[in-house]
Amino acid sequence: VIEVTLVDVFEKWQDLKSIKNVKEVELPMPNKILIILDEGANADQVTNEILQYLVKARGRIRSIRPVSPSLDEIYLGYVEGVEDR
């Protein structure tokens, strides 16, 4: 997961899903975007492509960072995977 915080609202946030290896895009706050990557995706390469897209689209970036899942999220993912079997 990559978290992008922008200075202001970015209207074209859903277009980020068109970037290769982006699985899903969420908007938890008007100026914050969470980008979920495909499993096995090269996070550095995808981050670079996201930055290039935002700069071309005139998005004013405050920060961009990878987000690691918490232990609770890892556990829930494991438990849900076991329940699906």
How does pLDDT run across 8-17, given as a tens digit for each residue? 999 999 999 9
SS3 for 59?
Answer: coil
Q: What is the pLDDT of residue 68?
A: 80
- Residue 52: alpha-carbon gap to chain centroid: 15
Where residue 25 falls (left for φ over 0; alpha for ψ -120 to 50; beta otherwise) is: beta
In the sheet with 32-37, reading across from the earlier edge strand, the strands are 22-29, 32-37, 2-6, 61-66
On the CB side of 17, CA atoms within 13 Å amount to 9
Q: What is the pLDDT of residues 49-76, one digit of tens each?
A: 999 999 999 999 999 999 887 777 677 7
Instruction: Give the chain's mean pLDDT.
Output: 88
Does the pTM exceed 0.85? no
Structure tokens, 63 = 């920060």
